[in-house]
Structures are given as C-alpha cells and as structure tokens.
Structure 1
C-alpha cells in the first residue's frame, strides 16, 4: 500500500514521529493551492526507509522545498525521517544567520547549505552516541531542491536524483524532455573513489554483482555501502564517506515545466525520459507522483522478478 501526501500536515517533533512518522509529509504556509504531489510505496524488503517532503511557503510566500531521503541499513528509517523532519528548519536557521548579495550570493547559499547538512549529521551522531540506535552502518541519502521565485538551489547527498521536465522547442504542448539537475554520487565516480581511497577506504565490487561498486573498511569486508556520500554511516566517515552535499543552481526558464525528485528505487528501473513522459501525460498534478511510482513498481516486477523490490518515492512540483 502506498502513502499519499496529505494536505496541511504539520509533523510532530516527538521522538516517535521523528523516527516512525509517515513516509510523506506535505506542508503549506501559503494561500496558493497545491502545486505538486508526493507518493511513496514500500518495497518488498520490509519497513519503508524512504521519506519525502513537499513544503510550500518555505521561507516565504513563493518559496518551496522539495526533497526525498532514502534510508539504508538496519536503522535507515530513523535517519531518513529525522533528516526529513529537521533539515528544512536547519537550512532556514543557517540562512537567516547569514547575509549577503550580488556576486557572492551563491557562495553564501552554498556555505549555508553545507553548514546545515554538517549540523544535521552532527545531530544524528548524537543520536548514535546517546541512544540505543546504532547508526554505524545506517544512514540516508538526500536530494533536495529549494525554489525561491525563478531560482533553484539543488543539494544532493548520495544516489537519489532530481530532474526537470523541459519543453524541447519552447512551444507549449510540444515534447517535454529531461534535464538532470543532480549527479548520482556513487563510489564508481572517479572523483568520489579518489577521495575514499585517499582516506584509506576501499572501493570494490562483489563477484556476484560486479556492476555495483561499494565502499569497504580498509581491512574488513564491511559494510559495503553503495553510495559515496550520506548522512549517518559513521563507520565509514573517517574513510571518505562524507555528509557534504553537491550543490548547484538553476535559473528557471519558461521552458521548465516541472521538477521530479525520486529515490533510487525509481531510477534503478526507469529512465529520465520515461519519468518525464509519465509526468507530462498525467491527467492531474495530484496523481503524477503516484503514476511514476506505480510504473516503477511494475518495472521491478518485469525486470527483476526474483529480486526484492526497493522502496520507491517521488515528489513532483509543477512550475507553470
């Protein structure tokens, strides 16, 4: 059974809701109607470790924050939900403590985002150190986009992904094509592998899955993390796995129709082109995210009938 975003949800700050809250949260502090949708479907591995947020009115009337978080490891659900519930507030707090304009504005945005992500990882470490939650080999990705006016700030940690759907020729009603905003941050990327190896971590693939490079401890065949950046995963933090996001910026044009952010359970089986086609052909904005997730679930059954399906989570934001 999937989970749809509910309107006007304000998530609780209680410990139980932080760790076991619903996968999808929709928040609104604006008078404008909903401009997107979010949907999450639990995979066949057990507990849904994905979470997502669509927050309209974020930091101002025209502000929007969209994000997905993909937990992994025994307590990945705890990390995913904690980050979803607290990172938006941390980002606003760090932004409000900094000022600047002009040519240094992007630098200031980047510093704010990095400091907020660092603070979030430190809070998770406190949970690891002071509670029974062992987060040595549990963590979460984050793919996050903040929209203010026509400007996007994109922050990515791990292998979730954000794309835009753009009109290919600038004419309304014509074909919509994908434009990828993030890079999947996996150990196979040369720059990521280089950093990990300089820190004495190992990047290797198992014989039975030679196409998947993983991060291992220097002298132990564990834990085998399939991404190079994440919240949590403290066993690997001194060996090159970092919680510093890759940050980029995008100025929206009239050709940018919608934004899609999804966890790797979607991207493992659907191409960017397929996802854009599904969203652009949706009958309503409210059903777009659910349609993508349902198509991903069907693709898992078709392509990998003997494998356990991953959790699949999507957030769609319509820009026009």
Structure 2
C-alpha cells in the first residue's frame, strides 16, 4: 500500500523540469562567477596597457620612479616617499592592532564566560569587520586629527587603519583558536599545567599559523585603503616621511592624486604606481597562502 502511495507521489513531479531548473541555476552562478573574473581581467589589462605605454611612449624610468619623491612636475615625480610611507604605516598598524587583537581574541575564547554579554561583543565585532572604511577615516579625523590635535600625521593614519583591521584580526584569531581541539587543552591540564601555561605553550603555537594568515590578509586590505587616509589628511606630500609624526602620502593616496591630474603623463604614472601596489598585495597574499599551506601540510 505504501509503495503505491510513494509511486503516485513521485509521478506528479516533472523530473525534466527539475533537471532544467538545476542546469539554469548552475549557469546563473557560473555566469556570476565569470562576471567578476572577466571584470578583474579587463581591469588588469587596462592597467598593464597604461603601464606599458608609460614606459615606452612617455619614457617613465623605473629607476627614477623608485628613487624620487612626489612632485608637481610630471617629469620629476617619483614613488619613493609613498612606498616608504606605506611600509611605515604597515609597521605601525601591525604594532597597534596585532597584540590588542590577538589578546582580545584570547580573552573572548579562553577566559570570557559564555553569556549574553560575550555573545553581544562577538556579534558587534563581526559587524565592525564589515563597516565601510571611510567610517574609520571619519573617526580618525574627529577623534585624533582634530579631537586631540594630532594633525594629519602618519601616526593618525596608522591609528585609523589599525581600528579598521582590528576587528578582522580578532575574528580570524578567534577562528584559529577555535580550531585547536579541546583534547589538546585537556591533555595539557592533565599534566598539571595552568590555564595560562596551556594557552602560551600549547594553544597559541597551534593557532599561530591561522592567526598570522588572518593578520597578513587584514594588512593587505589596509595597505590598499584610500578613504581613511584621505579623511585624516594624507593629501599630496612631495617629500618622504622620516617618523610617525611627519606628514605623509601613502601609495593609494598618491595614485589617487595622480589619477585626478589632467595630464596623461600623470595617468601613466598612476598606472605604474598601481602595478607597484598590486605587487605588494600579491606578495602579502602569497605569504598568507604559503603559511596556510604549510600549516595544513604539517597537520
């Protein structure tokens, strides 16, 4: 009796239409994926074309480009100050965000009680990771540049970027700590180790590859951000910064300023700068992938 009922139930389903819907859905998601890939390829092709034209037709010397600072004169413009400023930014952002971010993740995962307040904090951290970057620039402008009178210096930009990447570092560090099996912790406790000894000698060494991967990817996002730096006043500066209290113009803001110039020479200078910035991004992402691959291979 039940067999006949099941047969009648499935006989009402048009399997041909179901297969057609599955194929249509597959093509839709494939087209959506290819749209992003094609747009990225076109963007890279356009940048590579402008880069090649700048080197051949506008005689942009890579040696001069890497050894000169910015200038209002197109034939004297270089990228040295912007590269140095971006490197100094990343060093300061790492110092300001890494230890606070990892410490916060350790507290939330290992010490904080599982209650409503902890869950509320974690939910807010996840939301902060998706806040537009210009909001952090406005915060840096109001609180640090104007609020306490720091002015548009490199330290103010570093604080704004550190606030931007800190939620990302905290969330990625939490995920890395969660990936460590509880059996490892319990085994450490069974040998008489304290909670802090277990975290420092057992949990953190196992989670460090994941923490480092998340941190590098967060810094790779920060190095390409333009809006927060513009908001804190990182406008065109034609000299190289020598400390955290100097005014600066990082790679993204220099490219932005060059792209706004009417001269085609500046447009091609911006293309060369984009290639340099993309190289930094690719290297940082490659390091993150290498750390992740090495960790997975060892596990």
Q: TM-score by structure 2 length?
A: 0.26
Larger RCO (CA under 8 A, 6+ residues apart): 2
Structure with greater proportional strand content? 1
Q: Higher Cα Rg: structure 1 or 2?
A: 2
TM-score, normalised to structure 1, is 0.25
